[in-house]
Amino acid sequence: MAGTTAAALAATTALAAPVSAAPAAPASTTGDASTGQYIVKFRDGANRAAALRQTGGRFGVSLTETRQLATGAHVIRAGGRASGLLQALAARGDVEYAEPDAPMYALSTPNDPSYPQQWHYYEATAGINAPTAWDTTTGTGVVVAVLDTGRTAHPDLDGNTVAGYDFISTSSNARDGNGRDANPQDEGDWNATDGECGTGSKAKNSSWHGTHVAGTIAASSNNGVGVAGVAPNARIQHVRVLGKCGGSTSDIADAIIWASGGSVLGIAANPTPAKVINMSLGGSGSCSRTYQRAIDSAVKRGAAVVVSAGNSNADASGFSPASCANVVTVGALDREGNRAFYSNYGTRVDVSAPGGEVRRDTDPPGTRTTPENGVLSTMNAGTTTPGSPSYTEYMGTSMSAPHVAGLAALMLAKRPTLTPSGVESALKANVRPIPGSCSGGCGTGLVDAAATVAAL
């Protein structure tokens, strides 16, 4: 059986560029207007010009009427700030009320400083329309299992993480000195030399792939740190299945069953079974009976299984678990909404989501000229063993699947009785058309979080 490898194409760019334009926090509706404007409702018959001249004159601030609102009140622009001015206006006998023209923001826009770079959530062209969905649901309490390389400590993930498991049965592949164990810590999947994982394998740094996938699903949002997740109040369950040289179908099959609450010989039951399982992984070959039985068992227990279509620019029918039945198979689009150059395609693809395309840009962070077109998420800075938490852009169907897994968590938080097939049919029915071009089949379209959640 061919080894299974993580389906991400790792970006070779360094840390994502820092963000300059973070959205401001929602404004207070009291106090001075930071817009420099007031909304004043005069009583009938008031001499507005005289009232503004008198009051402004007391404070040494020019007050100019700019237009009348449909409510009958007027917008007054102040030439400067003075404490007490608004109160003085409001206290006048010819003024019914005076208020700051307070700036307003969409409440669903997170304050995370790197959120503006996460085009894949909000951009009109090819984003998943997440902010509107967040007005209704944030995925509260839904457990999403991430069958991947495991966990690293991260301030944008730790608060959303529940206990997982390490299913890698081979000690040398796991790098933790033993077989299966209760600690899904990602020990690093670096390769020191070419050929370490078989003919043709290349030396590489650790990918921290599971950390990146987890962040797209459920990074903490509105915590003033880093990035946002698609389902920021969902719970991540790291189930480690990919090690130094990838993973085995046998370990992954057990992991699927355990994650969904089924029993696996010799291992304590999962105390918090997942309602969604994300598998951003794959290998060549059509779906094996081992995979299909594990998936069917998970689906029977009520877990929706979301998988990557694969990164081979080929028909997904030749890849696993992408070609399995009872899974939501996700292709990848670029920032313009075209099928990404690497994405698999074909009738096995159910829906598409942003996977991005990362362009090499050697400019130092902060001076980059090419737009950042990958999927920005949580990362670790260690080149071999874990280092400090960080952020980076990756591209791949490994990045598109967790958008859909996160959306499934949003759906299940709103409608906990949804079955896995109900999740799949609602996802497929509420897409928008592929914004760009797709040859070969990208499923029913680009997932639309707002439309999907609204339809429930």
**In angstroms, what is the minimal distance from the CB of 5 to Ca ion?**
19
Q: Is 242 in the site for Ca ion (CB under 5 A)?
A: no
148 binds Ca ion (CB under 5 A): no
Q: Is 403 marked active-site?
A: no
Q: Does 251 bind Ca ion (CB under 5 A)?
A: no
309 belongs to the binding site for Ca ion (CB under 5 A): no
| DSSP letters spanning 241-298 | --BTTBB-HHHHHHHHHHHTT---TTSPPPSS--SEEEE-EEEESSPPHHHHHHHHHH
Identify which range of 48-56, 279-287, 346-354, 408-416 contacts Ca ion by CB under 5 A. 346-354
- If the CB atoms of residues 156 and 254 are measured against Ca ion, the closer one turns out to be 156
- Per the annotation, the verdict on 169 as an active-site residue is no
Work out how close the CB of 132 gets to Ca ion at its nearest, in angstroms, rounded to a whole number: 19
Catalytic-role residue among 101, 148, 251, 350: 148
CA distance 391 to 290: 35
The phi, psi pair for 353, rounded to 5°, reads -150, 165
Structure-derived torsion over alpha carbons of residues 169, 171, 176, 180, reported in degrees to the nearest 10: 20
Q: Report the distance separating Cα 54 and Cα 62, nearest Å.
A: 10
- The four Cα atoms 251, 255, 257, 260 give a dihedral, to 10 degrees, of -170
Are 207 and 8 in contact by the 8 Å Cβ rule? The answer is: yes
Q: Which stretch binds Ca ion (CB under 5 A): 41-49, 219-227, 271-279, 409-417?
A: 219-227
Spatial CA neighbour of 295 closest among 256, 344, 251, 250: 256
Q: With CB under 5 A, what is the number of residues at the site for Ca ion?
A: 13
Cβ-contact 85, 98 below 8 angstroms? no
How crowded is residue 84: how many other Cβ atoms within 10 Å of its Cβ? 10
Please name the amino acid found at residue 164. G
Site for Ca ion in 353-412 (CB under 5 A): none
> Which CB sits closer to Ca ion, 56 or 110?
110
Out of 114, 248, 312, 398, pick the active-site residue. Answer: 398
Answer yes or no whether residue 111 interacts with Ca ion by CB under 5 A: no
User: Nearest distance from residue 393's CB to Ca ion, in Å?
Assistant: 16
166 binds Ca ion (CB under 5 A): yes
Cβ nearer to Ca ion, comparing 156 with 315: 156
Tokens representing residue 196 in the block? 């370490």
Among 76, 85, 112, 291, the residue binding Ca ion under the rule CB under 5 A is 112
> If we measure between CA atoms, which residue out of 216, 264, 243 comes closest to residue 394?
216
Residue 156 interacts with Ca ion (CB under 5 A): yes or no: yes
- With CB under 5 A as the contact rule, the residue among 46, 225, 314, 381 that binds Ca ion is 225
Please indicate whether residue 148 is annotated as part of the active site: yes
Segment near Ca ion (CB under 5 A), from 13-21, 174-182, 377-385, 434-442? 174-182
226 scored as a contact of Ca ion (CB under 5 A): yes
d(CA 385, CA 175): 10
3-state secondary structure (DSSP) of residue 2: coil
Q: Does 181 bind Ca ion (CB under 5 A)?
A: yes
| Catalytic residue, candidates 154, 209, 212, 238 | 209
Give the binding range for Ca ion (CB under 5 A) out of 20-28, 163-171, 270-278, 382-390.
163-171
List the one residue out of 385, 409, 316, 311 whose CA is nearest residue 355: 311
Q: Is 254 in the site for Ca ion (CB under 5 A)?
A: no
Q: Which of 220, 312, 320, 400 binds Ca ion (CB under 5 A)?
A: 220
Q: Which residue is nearest to Ca ion (CB)?
A: 166
Q: Which helix (H) or strand (E) holds 306?
A: strand 304-308
Nearest 5°: phi and psi at 305?
-110, 120
Binding site for Ca ion (CB under 5 A): 112, 156, 166, 174, 176, 178, 181, 183, 220, 223, 225-226, 350
Q: Which active-site residues does the annotation give?
A: 148, 209, 398
